[in-house]
Structure 1
């Protein structure tokens, strides 16, 4: 294997461009607010691309093809739900957070329930984000180890340092604009890989597709009503819809960049971009895995996450290894920078500023946030090294890990939005019982992990409501931070209920967002037609 001068040039130019952008954007950051959410002048499309690039990480670039290599397009069902997810998030979550002017979305929990629930929610975020970021670091280190021979621990440290440099300099502005650049590199690299697979296929592509269909690799719609199968249409459209609602609606890393949008309409449009772009992007990654199965004729791999790397090596195309390395670095660094920035923000705003140094200067909090960015970079190296023992799809592994925690998030926000009688004491009882239920389901049953969010969230909400009634009794009025409470507040204050055609009231669906439902139906029909027409 030879990582040529051309390959090194591609990678080094990519790294240099990111560092220069971080330095340039960092010159204008003067306050903690600018570091946390940006300048308030960032265009919506850039925020939207940043949202996409943050979630479509190296896990997707390596893990999605690995997953499809094992299970075919059936695994794509997990990602069909984004139109419904974005519809719900833009209607219920974004207006709450954008209107409040907060830097940490978990401040909502304190306003709705109390300080303990805010600390619990922020802690859950920090733990889950630390684990997922560690997986992303490992995925990227795997690439560098594969193509250069650098030991994985050293590669993890090197990647962390690169991402920390420009994130610490530029904050959220650097995160967003480097994400835009990295997204172009990432998707460009994926398209090059797919074209190369088509061109270099050992048999005519028609025969390959026919063989893939015969092997069941092109079947994306599994109607089996079996809760032990993780990739059915039902787990995708029900269980994983709730999972992804918490990922995009109750996740500091995803929401934080929209808080610096010019208007509520821009914040919603940035998310709508994800609603439309997610399916073709994931289809691209999963289809690459299916084509790779045809290229290698189902040959087993010791580590399926190496498949795309092995293809780049086997193809012999000059510069393809460099393009692939830059694409994976782009995917990883876009997510790492967002994770470091959001975890530092939550740590300072939810804990340091609230419990340790109240009333300090803005310059102090800016310095504290930069220091916490470095601290989290150092901490995340540990789980990244531990992931080196994983040989299955890292995307699937991470999804399973996340499924243990999303039920608590779903329950806490569900009760906050829609329950009059839930109080903090009852809520915390519900969260504890929800975790116990998920542990029991995961260890004592064969129910597939996409259903854990529904089960955990249902347990949290049911027990939380009952415990609240027993411990605190009935509540006479709706909280002003519930959906009915917000509607009453808007009516009483006479505040505008829409700006430029976009609703400012939580709980109202924007008419133009309803096209997402049509889009979802079209994607399902397209997948059925793909298998039928081959």
Structure 2
């Protein structure tokens, strides 16, 4: 590629310095392990929401999204159709359990519901899965630096780790959230600059380009094939990946921990709801970008598809563009790495070190150990990052495939806890073991695609856990306190208000903005259908997209209005029946 140049280095260097300074400033206020993990409970919900969005929209999306859709077309978006459904469930069920019970590690719920062994099992699953995910993010970022500078990828991996580690160690979750806010603006600025440049730089009129893309099968986003070996079908996206992403967002310490830093239950829910309303559009931009690159490069082969954006930016010739893109991808990666380091350290201290080794130490001691574990995990993820360096496929697909082995067990351990009456800890853990064996067999002996691993794991886990629980412990006479029905009964028994500031604090109750998520889901399906259906008729397509856009904007405005309204007094004292 072309020489990186002074201007690009200045842009990239300025971003890195700004991030480190912000971490240092925030770090001066952190004096305890609780502050390191949850801040001072004064971070605004919109900042937390932006951080939630950015954490999962990492370099996996900026690089891997276009690389994947360059091969598969717009159908890749099917994997991301489910976010409104996922957030609907998380806000209604997961958040009240975690925030309402004042948990630092969300896996403490497992001990309260089932027992110590299930807590340790799920904590260990999280640490292993998150280490692999962080390694993939780390590799993707290091690849950028190697492409730009020519520095060997091994050294780049170490450099990127050090940058993310420094400000995370200093500032904890507050530094993670506020640096994510800055990183969000850089990330999306870079994405829109690229998509605007590609759109306007096509070798033919856009109407002709879209017709050709449709003829090549690149614009059909809603594949209805029942073939389970296909990854990007509607059924995989709506059924299998709904379970997958429910675990990623609801049963994942990295995602939930920042919501636990909110001022109130309402703020925690609003932060998570932001993801439900905007995720589809964010992923649509990155996936559409890959389709446009397919048209721009006429589908030519790349040695490594993850570098398509970088090739384009280096060829485009706009002064400073390569620096903006490099900073954007680095920002995307940092928003995931800092969250991972902080959450893995929190789980290590709360679920292992403090729980079993040093239960009666001071806050200063636990803060010190939180920082020690942050450093330790940052060093450990370097090893699998080097393993990812041998991959030439989409890093987004590689990461998703690796995560699919774990999500079935995690999904069941939470959802069975929320709703089951008869499942016991022994039965649950037997089910977890059975699900891993089943997924391993399916992976090596069949051609079933990875999104369905979660469904298979959930079915096997649930059936085996139920049968084993009945065989070992018999039927339980009462619902456990830490089930949905158990919590609702406890609120009624204690005559506690089920709403606070207009938001439900008891699990299983649906807040008004959640219904808007169902509208968003329907709109996204209709939008994708219409784009492909009307692509041959430009005026009709434009009017159709405008109509869908109006409906989507109305949904967003409804969510915003509800978030900022003044709650009525009687809402705060509404009681359970």
Alignment of 1:40-119 (within 5 A): 40-119=41-120
CA distance in 1: counterparts of 2:430 and 2:534, whole angstroms: 53
Alignment of 1:494-505 (within 5 A): 494-505=495-506
User: Which position in structure 2 is the counterpart of 1:134?
Assistant: 135
User: Which position in structure 2 is the counterpart of 1:390?
Assistant: 391
Q: In the TM superposition, what is the alpha-carbon distance from 1:196 to its structure 2 partner?
A: 1.0
User: Which position in structure 1 is the counterpart of 2:549?
Assistant: none
Alignment of 1:379-458 (within 5 A): 379-458=380-459
Q: In the TM superposition, what is the alpha-carbon distance from 1:199 to its structure 2 partner?
A: 2.2
Q: In the TM superposition, what is the alpha-carbon distance from 1:290 to its structure 2 partner?
A: 0.6
Superimposed CA distance per residue, residues 451-476 of structure 1 (whole angstroms, 9 cap, x where no aligned partner): 11111011111101110111111211
User: Which position in structure 2 is the counterpart of 1:351?
Assistant: 352
Is the CA contact 1:104–1:349 (under 8 Å) kept in the aligned structure 2?
yes
Secondary structure class of the residue paired with 2:300: coil
Is the CA contact 1:403–1:450 (under 8 Å) kept in the aligned structure 2?
yes
Q: In the TM superposition, what is the alpha-carbon distance from 1:532 to its structure 2 partner?
A: 2.1
Superimposed CA distance per residue, residues 468-500 of structure 1 (whole angstroms, 9 cap, x where no aligned partner): 111111211111001111111111111110112
Please tell me whether residue 37 in structure 1 is matched to residue 54 in structure 2. no
CA distance in 2: counterparts of 1:234 and 1:82, whole angstroms: 14
Secondary structure class of the residue paired with 1:390: coil
User: Which position in structure 1 is the counterpart of 2:20?
Assistant: 19
Secondary structure class of the residue paired with 1:227: coil
Is the CA contact 1:82–1:241 (under 8 Å) kept in the aligned structure 2?
yes
User: Which position in structure 1 is the counterpart of 2:227?
Assistant: 226
Is the CA contact 1:119–1:350 (under 8 Å) kept in the aligned structure 2?
yes
CA distance in 2: counterparts of 1:507 and 1:47, whole angstroms: 23
User: Which position in structure 2 is the counterpart of 1:460?
Assistant: 461
CA distance in 2: counterparts of 1:494 and 1:34, whole angstroms: 32
User: Which position in structure 1 is the counterpart of 2:372?
Assistant: 371
CA distance in 2: counterparts of 1:255 and 1:458, whole angstroms: 25
Q: In the TM superposition, what is the alpha-carbon distance from 1:198 to its structure 2 partner?
A: 1.5
User: Which position in structure 1 is the counterpart of 2:329?
Assistant: 328
Q: In the TM superposition, what is the alpha-carbon distance from 1:511 to its structure 2 partner?
A: 2.3
User: Which position in structure 2 is the counterpart of 1:152?
Assistant: 153
Please tell me whether residue 337 in structure 1 is matched to residue 338 in structure 2. yes
Q: In the TM superposition, what is the alpha-carbon distance from 1:361 to its structure 2 partner?
A: 0.5
Q: In the TM superposition, what is the alpha-carbon distance from 1:73 to its structure 2 partner?
A: 0.4
Secondary structure class of the residue paired with 1:131: helix
Further displaced range: 227-236 or 47-56: 227-236
Secondary structure class of the residue paired with 1:404: helix
CA distance in 1: counterparts of 2:417 and 2:437, whole angstroms: 21
Further displaced range: 307-316 or 65-74: 307-316
CA distance in 1: counterparts of 2:146 and 2:417, whole angstroms: 46
CA distance in 2: counterparts of 1:162 and 1:516, whole angstroms: 37
User: Which position in structure 1 is the counterpart of 2:175?
Assistant: 174
Is the CA contact 1:343–1:373 (under 8 Å) kept in the aligned structure 2?
yes
| Aligned CA-pair RMSD | 0.8
Q: In the TM superposition, what is the alpha-carbon distance from 1:378 to its structure 2 partner?
A: 0.4
User: Which position in structure 2 is the counterpart of 1:236?
Assistant: 237
CA distance in 1: counterparts of 2:299 and 2:195, whole angstroms: 17
Q: In the TM superposition, what is the alpha-carbon distance from 1:319 to its structure 2 partner?
A: 1.1
Is the CA contact 1:414–1:461 (under 8 Å) kept in the aligned structure 2?
no
Superimposed CA distance per residue, residues 45-79 of structure 1 (whole angstroms, 9 cap, x where no aligned partner): 10000000000000000000000000000111000
User: Which position in structure 2 is the counterpart of 1:471?
Assistant: 472
Structure 2, gaps ≥5 residues long: 536-577
Superimposed CA distance per residue, residues 255-280 of structure 1 (whole angstroms, 9 cap, x where no aligned partner): 00111111111111101100011011
Is the CA contact 1:213–1:219 (under 8 Å) kept in the aligned structure 2?
yes
User: Which position in structure 1 is the counterpart of 2:493?
Assistant: 492
CA distance in 2: counterparts of 1:482 and 1:278, whole angstroms: 29
Superimposed CA distance per residue, residues 273-297 of structure 1 (whole angstroms, 9 cap, x where no aligned partner): 0001101100000011011111100
User: Which position in structure 1 is the counterpart of 2:208?
Assistant: 207
Secondary structure class of the residue paired with 2:447: coil
User: Which position in structure 2 is the counterpart of 1:510?
Assistant: 511
User: Which position in structure 1 is the counterpart of 2:273?
Assistant: 272
Q: Which runs of 4+ in 1 moved over 3 A?
A: none
Q: In the TM superposition, what is the alpha-carbon distance from 1:191 to its structure 2 partner?
A: 0.3
Further displaced range: 504-513 or 63-72: 504-513
Further displaced range: 198-207 or 76-85: 198-207
Is the CA contact 1:412–1:461 (under 8 Å) kept in the aligned structure 2?
no
Is the CA contact 1:200–1:315 (under 8 Å) kept in the aligned structure 2?
no
CA distance in 1: counterparts of 2:42 and 2:79, whole angstroms: 35
Secondary structure class of the residue paired with 1:83: helix
User: Which position in structure 1 is the counterpart of 2:126?
Assistant: 125
User: Which position in structure 2 is the counterpart of 1:253?
Assistant: 254
Q: In the TM superposition, what is the alpha-carbon distance from 1:147 to its structure 2 partner?
A: 0.9
Give the TM-score, by structure 2 length. Answer: 0.92
Secondary structure class of the residue paired with 1:389: coil
Q: In the TM superposition, what is the alpha-carbon distance from 1:213 to its structure 2 partner?
A: 1.3
User: Which position in structure 1 is the counterpart of 2:565?
Assistant: none
Secondary structure class of the residue paired with 2:381: helix
Secondary structure class of the residue paired with 1:481: coil
CA distance in 2: counterparts of 1:260 and 1:161, whole angstroms: 25
User: Which position in structure 2 is the counterpart of 1:531?
Assistant: 532
Q: In the TM superposition, what is the alpha-carbon distance from 1:438 to its structure 2 partner?
A: 0.7
Q: In the TM superposition, what is the alpha-carbon distance from 1:37 to its structure 2 partner?
A: 1.0
